[in-house]
Amino acid sequence: MIGRLNHVAIAVPDLAAAAAQYRDTLGAIVRDPQDEPDHGVTVVFIELPNTKIELLYPLGDASPIKGFLEKNPAGGIHHICYEVDDIIAARDRLKAAGARVLGSGEPKIGAHGKPVLFLHPKDFNGCLVELEQV
């Protein structure tokens, strides 16, 4: 059901410094920041040959990343994102297997302009999982 790894998301306390580290120290291609108000984050994508890194920074006081950074002030891996061909079919299959879909259970449009869903970390070995329809 899942396809390739789309990205690994890392919450960071300083978005500009983290982006500069990937660009200047690691020599990666770093995209411009983009606000995602529906998700409460500002994101910067780091392009790698085989996947992407998504740097996450809180956008507003209600941001889920704000709470994550309060618990993890240095930042850290927040979630992993897998691609799926049909997000509704994937959701229905996962729910039938007992997995919990976060939020309303309906896909939202993610940072790539494609439908996304998040799965409860307690159902996936402590890892928050994002699914993105390709």
- The 3 state secondary structure assigned to 14-27 is CHHHHHHHHHHHCC
How many Cβ atoms are within 10 Å of 118's Cβ, its own excluded?
A: 20
130 in active site: yes
DSSP 121-133: GGGTTT-EEEEEE
Catalytic residue chosen out of the listed positions 54, 83, 130, 132: 130
Which residues have a catalytic role annotated?
Answer: 130
